[in-house]
Structure 1
């Protein structure tokens, strides 16, 4: 897997984690939020029939408001399923319903995606929240199994102590870090961790890659990569080459002109991208504001999205690589 593919995969995983976190936080009125999970072996026709039956049942809900919410959510689920001829190889997850946002306003949402790994759970629930437990459960079980195997292989049955001098945890994404920090990971193992290494391949190739990287670095390779990128940035600054920009507006202007080769963004950047329309002239403008800044009363908000999320979706359109989301913006 090349660097760009690895970066794309990391960004997709980050977007999935962020999506699940937002789903967990979403709240609704009554039982207006549907959580639907289909395993790979399921059939779209089976779920479509289930929704038809549920529609008939929901028609008898006494509360008119809640009845309309639930019927609307079921209809949205039915419409979204029409986009699929079959359940994807890893299964299908669908969330739909009316949620209440931070401003107390209602918003209809429909979200569907294929998990990164096959999911065997089947779920259909109407509630005042979205249920993500089944998605997280598979990862939790895999984490537990890995921790159990580590104890089986690396703890001596005769001495009840580690039978290795040190451990190196290697892999892609954040699973290796989750494992090292998990309560399921034996504390005797944790004391033996020498390095946590980011690798781009699995199997023997990834194993050899981890060995090679661990012979050269003492810290997590992710932070070493960040240090290298920031070092290159400061070299440009110190040499006065002019091949860099700092700050949101200057960086985005450089992006628009196609001048950015590498983009580095702080992962906690709390700035939103607004698409605004002047209520008098009809003019459309784009503004980048933090939570404390207010939108001019002359403008109506057409779209609002976290700038970091927008960049994660759009960076490839500008022809740049986005290997890290942690430090700053530069070109």
Structure 2
């Protein structure tokens, strides 16, 4: 049975833990999730768990019954360690690890206050109440549009998430000539304008929740030729979102790949944003590597040696590096910029090839 780590958990540790716990699954409802908000008496929660332990005796299948009782007993043992709930509340996950088949418990106080009292045994852990605690507070809306197609995404830290899309049929131009040609051209333009208006309404629907949460920092709009301007002029986009438009950018592909290109083209306009900084740092590192300038360093031993000598201007490190927090703290002492590589298109390549690397201040 795993022993509890320190009660307080950082945002980075929580992010890694959630990633692990979301992989857990059980054939029956044996994984225990318990959320205790601050101020809740420990005694009341213990009483609830005792009752649940008694009820578990009625579970027909022996294996399931034993697993549930073991999880409840382990949770109660963890809870006994506390005279009162920590200021941010307490979270306990207990269950049989599907990989090792051993009972494990995770007990911690999260970086933000636990929002709800919640108890359940299920086939999965209920981690949804912790999601917002690891979400990036600032979000950039991404809109790619062309005649007949739109895709909307959100740039959250170093991740791009596809939110939704819209499609519509707009007839192609033909050459009938004369009055018939002009009438048909008008119908085509009316169809295009109707689509752009519908697309604006759909984009607003997808982005307004972030605006209402006061997380939407800006909006990037891209697409081929004049489609971007036509989209803005159609009037379907909510005026509050329109006011947050940072710029219009030429992007050929209206798809998920195009969303990444859109962010890259807007890099100078969203300086300091994690995705933009990660992409920029990777490009600089690759340039030094390809030209063999002597400024690139990679490999854990070599990179940390350069860091400890105060030689690194920028440290690049994968999001799931086992020493991420320790190395980040070390880098701060030397005034080294730390760029966590995640979410960008080349993140997996960097992780497999390097894991950790740096750009020197001097040769």
Q: CA deviation at 1:71?
A: 1.4
Residue in structure 1 matching 2:339, options 323, 326, 330 = 323
| Alpha-carbon contact 1:258-1:319 (below 8 Å) kept | no
Distance of 1:84 and 1:323 partners within structure 2: 38
Tell me which of 322, 336, 342 is aligned to 1:310.
322
Cα deviation, 1:299-325, whole Å, max 9, x if unaligned, reads xxxxxxxxx241324425765663322
Q: 1:73 to 1:220 in 2, by over 3 A?
A: same
**Greater Cα offset, 69-78 or 116-125:** 116-125
Change (3 A) 1:192 1:40: same
63, 66, 86: which one pairs with 2:64? 66
Alpha-carbon distance in 1 for matches of 2:39, 2:325: 31
Specify the alignment match of 1:184 in structure 2.
209
Residue of structure 1 in register with 2:302 after alignment? 254
Specify the alignment match of 2:117 in structure 1. 122
Structure 1 stretches lacking a partner, 5+ long: 1-10, 147-170, 197-215, 268-307
Is the Cα–Cα contact under 8 Å of residues 281 and 339 in structure 2 kept in the other structure? no
When residues 259 and 266 of structure 1 are mapped into structure 2, their CA distance, relative to the original with a 3 A threshold, is closer
Distance in structure 1 (CA, Å) of the matches to 2:21 and 2:43: 26
1:219 counterpart residue number: 270
Give how far 1:86 is off: 1.9
Match of 1:33 in 2: 31
Q: Which residue of 1 aligns with 2:316?
A: 264
Preserved contact between residue 31 and residue 122 of structure 2 (Cα < 8 Å): yes
Give RMSD over aligned pairs: 4.4
What is the alpha-carbon distance in structure 2 between the residues aligned to residue 317 and residue 193 of structure 1?
35
**CA 1:57 to 1:24, structure 2 compared with 1: closer, same or farther past 3 Å?**
same
Cα drift, residue 113 of structure 1? 2.5
Q: Residues 89 and 113 of structure 2 are in contact (CA less than 8 Å); yes or no, is this contact kept in structure 1?
A: yes
Query: Rg: which structure is higher?
Result: 2
Deviations, residues 67-125 of structure 1 (Å, cap 9, x unaligned) = 21111111211222233332121211111111424xxx524321222233223311111
User: 1:227/1:122 Cα in 2 relative to 1: closer, same or farther (>3 Å)?
Assistant: closer
SS in 1 for 2:77: helix
* Alignment partners' CA distance in 1, 2:75 and 2:66: 14
| Match 1:24 to one of 22, 25, 35 | 22
TM-score of the pair, normalised by structure 2: 0.50
Q: Any idea what the Cα deviations from partners look like across 1:276-314, whole Å, max 9, x if unmatched?
A: xxxxxxxxxxxxxxxxxxxxxxxxxxxxxxxx2413244
User: Which residue does 1:131 correspond to in 2?
Assistant: 126
